[in-house]
């Protein structure tokens, strides 16, 4: 069952938790970028009931400023054109992200090589006495 | 200086000479060798060899030092080993090590030759058998058929057989079930792993790690596969520990790097999904260390930086956001939306020029198909162009701002606000006619447009007055009646006291009647109104050069230098040309220095500087500037062409033709047809002498014997005269 987080609007309707600190008016009002004008208006009214200008002046100002930016189709078009974009929706692909658990014959060659002088680093026994 | 002190110095010097004698050098060399400083040992002993009566064993010692240095680092150094062999020819140890170095460098042919020679000698140098066998296996040839097979011990033969079994997937079970001691534990582990017998494999590999006689490499390979087994049994942390240890100890196979990279990527993904972005980024950095060219990791990297950048913008932390956008761009991701974020952030940071450039990029990358879900309509495109223009305007780049306003208008021709903005900008630039045209266009479509009518009314009188004064003044100047021209300009300047152009014209005509104090007063007024107007600066520059007024020219140069962004290259070189015309070479040098300071990497500027230097016969300096251009862009047409001219003048026809060819090819590619034709003409003149071009005859043939300006004007065809006068009128 949907819980009521804001007066008159359920969490289903609010979609996103409003973030009053955001520069993004949609985030402030807690609505999706594709929300209808009606939905935006509804979200605005929910928030101003929660933050009335008489008691929550600063928060009211933030809500109001955000609403002003997208309250009409014309203003919204202008705002959308100059809005910082959120990261695009991204579904990580499985391709190339699986562990490689195969056997590699090259590892056997590598081991073979290590039994020869090719991988040795200390050849002090090949050094000659200096007879000066 | 006292006698005693100079004696002391002489003695010290003598002591120093003694210190460099043979025995001391030999001793120093020995000490250096013991400390592993082979280069110093070589140096000391080579010096000792030059002294009289060197020790007969010195050469062998030097060879030994070269040998030790040659095998001291990494793969080894063939040059040092070759020197050692030159000093002590045929030394078997030195030859063997030379073969090992060749082998490590994958020069198998050279290595095999030495191994076989060593084995064929009497007595045989048996150490060469094992690396030779390895080399044969590496070449994928059958080792059993090679004579070296018999030189291997039973244990060694078993190892090669084991590898062959694993490779050919034959008798693998024999390896797994061989009794302890009859098969190496590593082979048993690998064979069991190969056959999916993971518990046997794990036990064998664990025993490899514990066995005191295991080779390091065998241990690390065992560690890698232990990691794989743990990963398969859902113990990722243990797997990572094994892999990281193997990597630290020198195993850097692709599959190990892949697995470590994937491990960190998966951890990063979990942190990202839990919104622990910084932690995710740290893990991803680890992942990228192992798999730097993986696009999936880059996607996650960009996603995290985008998220962090977005969060920074919400906290108004624009410079931090900028760093995140930049990180994304550095990976080569140039999506329209990231460009948009970049542009908005740059606006917030008041870097309007860069913002304008990024907005242009947003426009360039927009989807062109109208059906695309992210398509922009004409109005939106126009609005974005307008925004670009506004940014240019804020960055004081009025020329670009005008251009981009015009672009905006192409997409929304009826947008009155845009037209008004453009008209305002044109007026501030003193382009009255263009501004009036713009206002007329608005009024044609909207005869009642209040902003257009207001602006026209405001500017009508002053504009009309200016144009009248300008036109009448020019007429008088043209016919040499400078007093009358001054009168007209003076009246105009007094009436239009805030019109910089009018003040400049008054200054110019005052100078024409040699009233230089008045000229100075009007120019001062003009530059007080607008010190950045290039056209006015040009007129004043010409005037003061003509009247040889050094102080005033320095003041003008000060204005030019203060303009930001700096005036265009062509304008500055025009100032230099005028300096040459009036023989102010010092001033030309000053302007040239300024150009070099403000445009240190601008190819156009560098080419023009080179042209200047070449004109002064400073050919070598000119070449340096041209080469600087070519370092940036090796096919830059103008630089190649002038280099060709220089080589041609020096008689190097081959190089001249080569540079001209490059220049022409580039000009053709850039579709710079005017420049191609200019180059062709110049090349013809340089190679065949000046031709009598028909068009010169056509235009100027009729001017022979001209005695006065009026006479000339009378003879020039009216269309050409219109063009020429138009050019004079427009100026800049």
Mutate to test the interface with B, among A95, A106, A124, A132 (most CBs of B within 10 A): A132
Asked if the structure places residue A75 within a domain, the reply is yes
- Over its C-alpha atoms, chain B yields an Rg (Å, rounded) of 41
Asked if the structure places residue A29 within a domain, the reply is yes
Q: Among all chains, which residue has been given the structure tokens 């939905």?
A: A39
Residue B519 CB neighbours (<10 A): 26
CA-CA distances (angstroms) from residue B688 to B445, B662, B697? Answer: 59, 21, 19
Asked if the structure places residue A11 within a domain, the reply is yes
Q: ipTM score here?
A: 0.77
- B136 contact A CB<8A: no
Closest chain A C-alpha to B130 CA, distance in angstroms? 6
How confident is the prediction for chain B on average, in pLDDT?
Answer: 84
Asked if the structure places residue A58 within a domain, the reply is yes
Q: Nearest CA to B112 among B124, B99, B122?
A: B99
CA gap B625, B616 in Å, rounded: 14
Residue numbers of B between 81 and 110 with CB closer than 8 Å to A: 93, 96-97, 100, 103-104
CA gap B164, B166 in Å, rounded: 5
Asked if the structure places residue A59 within a domain, the reply is yes
Please name every residue paired with B669 in a beta bridge, in sequence order, or none if there are none.
none
Q: Taking 90 as the threshold, does the pLDDT of residue B494 lie above it?
A: no
CA gap B560, B591 in Å, rounded: 9
Please name every residue paired with B269 in a beta bridge, in sequence order, or none if there are none.
none
Over B206-258, what HEC string results? HHHHHCCCCCHHHHHHHHHHHHHHHHHCCCHHHHHHHHHHHHHCCCCCHHHHH
Q: What is the pLDDT of residue B3?
A: 53
CA gap B466, B429 in Å, rounded: 14
CA gap B133, B130 in Å, rounded: 5
Closest chain B C-alpha to A99 CA, distance in angstroms? 5
- Over its C-alpha atoms, chain A yields an Rg (Å, rounded) of 32
- Which residues form the domain of A21? 4-81
Asked if the structure places residue A10 within a domain, the reply is yes
CA-CA distances (angstroms) from residue B323 to B275, B308, B340? Answer: 20, 10, 15
Q: What is the CATH number of the domain that holds A26?
A: 1.10.287.110
CA gap B66, B308 in Å, rounded: 56
Q: What is the pLDDT of residue B700?
A: 44
Task: Indicate the DSSP class of residue B568.
Answer: P
Q: What is the pLDDT of residue B201?
A: 92
Asked if residue A49 has a cis previous peptide bond (ω within 30° of 0), the answer is: no
CA gap B137, B160 in Å, rounded: 8
Asked if the structure places residue A104 within a domain, the reply is no
- What ranges do the domains of chain B cover? 26-153
Averaged pLDDT for residues B292-296: 72
Which among B58, B255, B337 has the least Cβ separation from residue A100? B255
The fold adopted by the segment(s) B26-153 is 1.25.40
Task: Indicate the DSSP class of residue A120.
Answer: -
Contact B191, B172 (CB under 8 A): yes
Tens digits of per-residue pLDDT, B683-717?
777 777 654 444 444 444 444 444 444 554 555 44
Give the least confident one: A1-15, A111-125, B4-18: A1-15
Which among B253, B316, B380 has the least Cβ separation from residue A81? B380
CA gap B536, B520 in Å, rounded: 13
Tens digits of per-residue pLDDT, A7-37?
344 444 455 789 888 889 999 999 988 899 9
Look at phi and psi of residue B704 and say left if phi exceeds 0, alpha if psi is from -120 to 50, else beta.
beta
Task: Indicate the DSSP class of residue A98.
Answer: S
In B, minimum Cα distance to A99 occurs at: B259
Tens digits of per-residue pLDDT, B165-219?
888 777 777 777 776 655 578 888 998 998 889 999 999 999 988 887 666 788 8
Q: What percentage of chain B has pLDDT greater than the value 70? A: 86
Contact B610, B595 (CB under 8 A): no
Q: Nearest CA to A110 among B215, B290, B71, B169?
A: B215
CA gap B209, B186 in Å, rounded: 10
Averaged pLDDT for residues B473-487: 74
CA gap B502, B427 in Å, rounded: 14
First to last CA, chain B: 73
Query: What is the pLDDT confidence band of residue B723, given thresholds at 50, 70 and 90?
Result: very low
Q: Taking 80 as the threshold, does the pLDDT of residue B111 lie above it?
A: yes
CA gap B418, B386 in Å, rounded: 7
In B, minimum Cα distance to A111 occurs at: B218
Mutate to test the interface with B, among A83, A92, A112 (most CBs of B within 10 A): A112
**Higher-scoring residue by pLDDT: B438, B732:** B438
Q: Nearest CA to A112 among B166, B660, B695?
A: B166
Overall domain count for chain A: 1
Please name every residue paired with A6 in a beta bridge, in sequence order, or none if there are none.
A9
């Amino acid at each position: 069952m949907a819980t009521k987080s804001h007066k008159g609007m359920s969490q289903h309707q609010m979609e996103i938790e409003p973030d009053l600190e955001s520069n993004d008016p949609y985030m402030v009002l807690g609505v999706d970028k594709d929300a209808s004008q009606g939905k935006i208006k509804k979200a605005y009214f929910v928030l101003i009931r929660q933050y009335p200008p008489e008691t929550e002046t600063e928060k009211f100002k933030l809500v109001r400023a955000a609403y002003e930016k997208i309250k009409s189709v014309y203003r919204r078009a202008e705002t959308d054109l100059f809005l910082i974009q959120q990261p695009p929706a991204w579904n990580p692909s499985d391709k190339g992200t699986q562990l490689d658990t195969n056997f590699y014959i090259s590892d056997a060659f590598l081991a073979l090589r290590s039994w020869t002088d090719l991988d040795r680093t200390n050849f002090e026994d090949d050094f000659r006495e200096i007879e000066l | 200086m006292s006698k005693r002190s100079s004696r002391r110095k002489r003695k010290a010097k003598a002591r120093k000479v003694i210190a460099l004698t043979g025995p001391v050098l030999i001793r120093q060399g020995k000490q250096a060798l013991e400390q592993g400083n082979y280069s110093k040992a070589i140096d000391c002993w080579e010096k000792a060899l030059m002294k009289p009566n060197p020790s007969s064993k010195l050469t062998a010692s030097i060879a030994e030092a070269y040998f030790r240095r040659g095998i001291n680092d990494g793969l080894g150094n063939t040059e040092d080993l070759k020197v050692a062999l030159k000093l002590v020819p045929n030394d078997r140890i030195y030859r063997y090590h030379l073969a090992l170095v060749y082998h490590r460098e994958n020069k198998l042919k050279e290595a095999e030759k030495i191994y076989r020679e060593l084995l064929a000698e009497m007595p045989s140098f048996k150490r060469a058998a094992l690396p030779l066998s390895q080399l044969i296996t590496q070449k994928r040839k059958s080792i059993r058929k090679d004579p070296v097979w018999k030189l291997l011990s039973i244990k060694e033969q078993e190892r090669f057989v084991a590898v062959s079994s694993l490779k050919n997937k034959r008798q693998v079970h024999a390896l797994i079930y061989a009794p302890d001691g009859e098969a190496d534990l590593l082979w048993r582990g690998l064979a069991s792993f190969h056959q999916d017998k993971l518990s046997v494999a794990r036990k064998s590999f664990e025993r490899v790690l514990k066995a005191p006689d295991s080779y390091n490499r065998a241990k690390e390979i065992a560690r890698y596969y232990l990691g794989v087994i743990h990963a398969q049994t859902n113990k990722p942390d243990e797997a990572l520990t094994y892999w990281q240890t193997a990597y630290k100890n020198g195993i850097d196979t692709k599959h190990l790097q892949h697995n470590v990279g994937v491990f960190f990527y998966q951890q990063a993904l979990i942190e990202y999904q839990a919104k622990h972005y910084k932690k995710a980024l740290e893990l991803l950095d680890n992942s990228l260390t192992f798999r730097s060219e993986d696009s999936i990791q880059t996607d996650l990297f960009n996603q995290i930086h985008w998220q962090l950048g977005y969060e920074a913008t919400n906290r108004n932390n624009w410079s931090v956001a900028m760093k995140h956008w930049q990180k994304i761009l550095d990976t080569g991701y140039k999506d329209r939306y990231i460009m948009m974020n970049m542009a908005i952030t740059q606006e917030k940071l008041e870097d309007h020029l860069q913002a304008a450039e990024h907005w242009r990029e947003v426009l360039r990358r927009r989807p062109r198909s109208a059906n695309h879900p992210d398509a922009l309509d004409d109005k939106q495109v126009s609005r974005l162009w307008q925004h670009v223009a506004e940014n240019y305007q804020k960055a004081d780049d009025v020329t670009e701002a005008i251009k981009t306003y015009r672009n905006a208008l192409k997409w929304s021709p009826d947008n009155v606000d845009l037209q008004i903005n453009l008209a305002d900008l044109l007026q501030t630039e003193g382009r009255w006619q263009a501004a009036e045209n713009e206002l007329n266009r608005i009024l044609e479509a909207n005869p009642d447009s209040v902003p257009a009518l207001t602006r026209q009314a405001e500017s009508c009188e002053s504009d009309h007055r200016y144009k009248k004064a300008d036109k009448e003044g020019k007429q008088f100047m043209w016919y040499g009646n400078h007093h009358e021209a001054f009168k007209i300009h003076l009246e105009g300047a007094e009436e239009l006291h805030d019109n910089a152009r009018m003040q400049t014209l008054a200054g110019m005509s005052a100078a024409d009647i040699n009233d230089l104090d008045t000229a100075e007063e009007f120019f001062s007024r003009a530059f007080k109104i607008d010190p950045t107007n290039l056209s006015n600066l040009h007129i004043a520059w010409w005037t003061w050069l003509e009247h040889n007024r050094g102080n005033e020219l320095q003041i003008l140069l000060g204005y030019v230098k203060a303009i930001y962004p700096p005036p265009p290259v062509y304008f500055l070189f025009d100032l230099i040309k005028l300096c040459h015309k009036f023989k102010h070479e010092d001033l030309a040098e000053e302007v040239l220095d300024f150009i070099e300071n403000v445009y240190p990497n601008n190819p156009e500027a560098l080419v023009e500087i080179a042209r200047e230097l070449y004109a002064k016969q400073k050919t070598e300096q000119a070449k340096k500037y041209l080469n600087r251009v070519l370092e940036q862009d090796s096919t830059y047409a103008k630089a190649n062409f002038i280099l060709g001219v220089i080589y041609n003048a020096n008689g190097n026809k081959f190089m001249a033709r080569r540079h001209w060819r490059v220049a022409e090819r580039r000009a053709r590619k850039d579709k710079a047809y005017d420049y191609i034709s200019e180059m062709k003409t110049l090349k013809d003149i340089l190679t065949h002498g000046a031709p009598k071009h028909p068009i010169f005859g056509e235009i100027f043939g009729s001017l022979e014997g001209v005695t006065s300006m009026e006479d000339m004007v009378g003879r020039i065809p009216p269309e050409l005269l219109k063009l020429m006068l138009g050019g004079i009128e427009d100026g800049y």
